[in-house]
Amino acid sequence: MRKRTLQGVVVSDKQAKTVVVRVDRRFTHPIYKKTIRRSRTTTRTTRTISSSRATIVWIEESKPISKLKRWTVVRGNTRNPPEQNPPAAGRKSPPSLKTFKRKSLRAR
């Protein structure tokens, strides 16, 4: 039987030989016909491939390695995380909408 191969993004790499990978899937709702995104995070073993956060990896089914690990990382690609560049010094980010609403409610 062929092993399933899925694509995911590394969420955490703090453990020694294990990474936590988020696998997203998209499907159409059976009644409303709207596209829905669901994701699940699970632990994967990575013995030879080094992968850091925000890395796209391909994982493959394997025999149970431990209580939580049933997948292995097959290969990985690096991807630039979206917030890699820090904001310029001296510039503040705009206040959030919640902060704005709280301040306006206090003024009343």
Say what the pLDDT of residue 27 is: 95
Number of domains in the chain: 1
Residue type, 88: A
Q: Find the domain containing 23 and state its range.
A: 5-81
Say what the pLDDT of residue 22 is: 93
Q: What is the CATH number of the domain that holds 54?
A: 2.40.50.140
**CB within 8 A of 23, min separation 6: which ones?**
6, 7, 8, 39, 40, 41, 42, 59
For the chain, residues with pLDDT lower than 50 are: 81-82, 84
Per residue in 73-90, pLDDT tens? 887 765 554 454 555 555
Tell whether 45 is covered by a domain: yes
Indicate yes or no: pTM above 0.85: no
Say what the pLDDT of residue 106 is: 59
- Expressed in angstroms, the distance from the first to the final Cα of the chain is 67
Say what the pLDDT of residue 101 is: 57
